[in-house]
Amino acid sequence: MYELDGVRKVFAPGPAALEDVSLTIGRGEHVAFIGPSGAGKTTLFRILNLTLRPTAGRLRFDGGDASALSDAGLRQARTRIGTIYQQQNLVGRLRVVHNVLAGNLGRWSAVQALASLAVPRVAPAERALAQVGIPEKLWARTDELSGGQQQRVAIARVLVQDPDVILADEPVSSVDPSLASSIVGLLRDLSASAAKTLCVNLHTVELALAYFPRIVGLRDGRVLFDLAPDKVTDELLGELYAGHGDAEVPFERMPGDKNPYGTACRPLRGFTR
């Protein structure tokens, strides 16, 4: 689905946000990206969702050169990529049904969008909300929901969009830690059932190791490692976070516990980054 070859991104003035990033992400693959604050994870996701162009290097999306796409081609390609943001980007004063149906905006005309505000077609929103476990919130005001419920609305919006790729940028940083695992698990399960490519930025190392078969560690805009979770050692994590306030030793392993990828862990001293 993605091929990145020597991708570099610079925001002048300043150092490169990404430097010589080369990755291949297969169709239907699930990948977690971890690393300290400022490592370049969000910049990388903005390149993956085609809202930023690399300063140098090559990006291919589904076999085609992204730099060769026309404006119309870019708009079409973006409809195939659903992004879940840290702050959800929901309109609080609107009903949940309207925020969920906003997943159609990339393929609706302005007239269709306005008509949906007046008379929403509720069936797609009902199905999506049932998938994320809050069907009863269809007509609730969005700003009256809890943080975890709002994040589920954001996921339902992407389900209505029905993209080939789901990019989730820090999707659980604004929810209670007790809900984070259920939301990450929900994203993984929904993506797996529909054979969608899933890429997630996570500050919480233990969630990445527990729920994803491939872990990419970013530091200072470069890929430090790209490994299966059972190959991500304490030493590698120490190197990844060294010198940052996030954590030098962010977790300890719990070999007796079980999870899909054989790596269980818990944070030390409350660290999740």
- Positions of the chain with pLDDT lower than 50, given as ranges: 247-259, 261-273
Query: Which residues, 6 or more positions from 105, have their beta carbon under 8 angstroms from its beta carbon?
Result: 113
Q: List Cβ<8 Å contacts ≥24 apart for 113-118.
A: none
Burial profile 98-125: b = 16 or more Cβ within 10 angstroms, e = fewer: bbbbbbbbeeeeeeeeeebeeebeeebb
Type and span of the H or E element at 140 = none
Using one digit for the tens of pLDDT, what is the confidence trace for 60-70?
999 999 999 99
Three-class SS of residue 266? strand
Alpha helices in 132-233 (DSSP H): 147-161, 177-193, 205-211
Give the CA diameter of the chain: 57
pTM to 2 decimal places:
0.85
Closest by CA to 167, choosing from 180, 156, 176, 158, is 158
Residue 153's pLDDT is 92
Structure tokens at 188: 């993984």
Domains in the chain, please, with CATH? 1-80+165-273 (3.40.50.300), 88-162 (no CATH)
Residue 245's pLDDT is 60
Residue 271's pLDDT is 38
Residue 151's pLDDT is 87
Using CA atoms of 36, 38, 43, 44 in order, give the dihedral in degrees to the nearest 10.
-30
Residue 34's pLDDT is 97
Using one digit for the tens of pLDDT, what is the confidence trace for 58-116?
999 999 999 999 989 998 999 999 999 877 788 888 999 999 998 877 776 777 777 77
